[in-house]
Homo-oligomer: A and B are copies of this chain.
Amino acid sequence: MTAAAPGPVDLDLDRTWTYGPDVQHGGHLLEQVVTAAIGAVDHPHPLAVSAHFLAAPRLGAAAVEREVLRAGRSVSTVRGRLVQDGRTCLDAVVTAGRLGEPSAPLYAVGEPPVLPPVEACLRNSAPAGERRNGITEQLDLRLDPSAAGWLSAPSGVAEVRGWVRYASGRPVDPVALVCLADALPPVTFALGLTGWVPTVELTVHVRALPAPGWLRVVQRATLIADGWLDESCQIWDACDRLVAQAVQLAGYRPT
């Protein structure tokens, strides 16, 4: 139960997951922090991750400072803090445990999003001449055209949904789900709103080990008002299991 100081983990923030010239994707930053954090405890899977995004780090050297808040029998809780030049950029707390083979749920409501077949969906690739978007290189992301207003016609509903897997074929593990919970384009795009949507707080609950294969992701907003919006996210696996749920509070800054 005593707090331990496991020492920092050095990171090199490279261009792989950058959006535009020099900003790493927030979900990928968080994934790196979670990986470092759970490395300090005996529980391999993040069950609940909550993160506050304070500042965007530049590319290059950074560190994750770690603190074990509680090392328990069934779960452990660890803080991971991304620091660069003495500045905290991202502060995350992870409660980690061990996920096994899922059993039949006591209760379940809801269904995976209904999507057109993968080949009928739109690749979320950056158009030639536009800013490079590392997400579209790292992920094979296929968007439902009826909910991708910026690519086809605005839907009027703050919802985006699609298929996702790694372009490299890398399997999606529970830590990767943390990144995928923030991988779709902002739901504001579906409304034709093109402002900047910086994530302020992101919480991810991992519910099961994902089965191999395509995942289905849906993100929705309930309220966009006074410069703020929520986004909720569900990720379903190829066995129709809900494997992750997430919510975020983001700013909305019109351009």
Contact = CB atoms under 8 A, between A and B. Distances in A.
A184 to B, nearest CB: 17
A248 to B, nearest CB: 9
Most B CB atoms within 10 A — which of A2, A48, A103, A157? A48
A104 B224 CA distance: 10
Interface stretch (A144-152, A163-171, A173-181, A201-209): A201-209
Interface string A240-255: 0010010101001000
A200 B203 CA distance: 13
Contacts of A58: none
Nearest to A83: B3
Contact of A205 (B100, B110, B249): B249
A224 B106 contact: yes
A48 B199 CA distance: 11
Given A79-B91, A93-B52, A203-B50, A102 B70 contact: no
Nearest to A246: B247
A234 B245 CA distance: 16
Nearest to A104: B225
A77 B88 CA distance: 10
B226 A95 contact: no
Interface string A46-81: 011011101100000000000001100001010100
B249 A47 contact: yes
Contacts of A87: 1
Contacts of A88: 3, 69-70
B249 A247 contact: no
B100 A203 contact: no
Interface string A215-235: 000000111111011100000
Given A52-B93, A70-B88, A203-B247, 11 more contacts: A48-B52, A48-B200, A48-B201, A48-B249, A99-B226, A107-B223, A203-B203, A205-B230, A207-B225, A208-B225, A247-B247
6 contacts: A2-B86, A103-B225, A106-B193, A109-B157, A110-B222, A201-B205
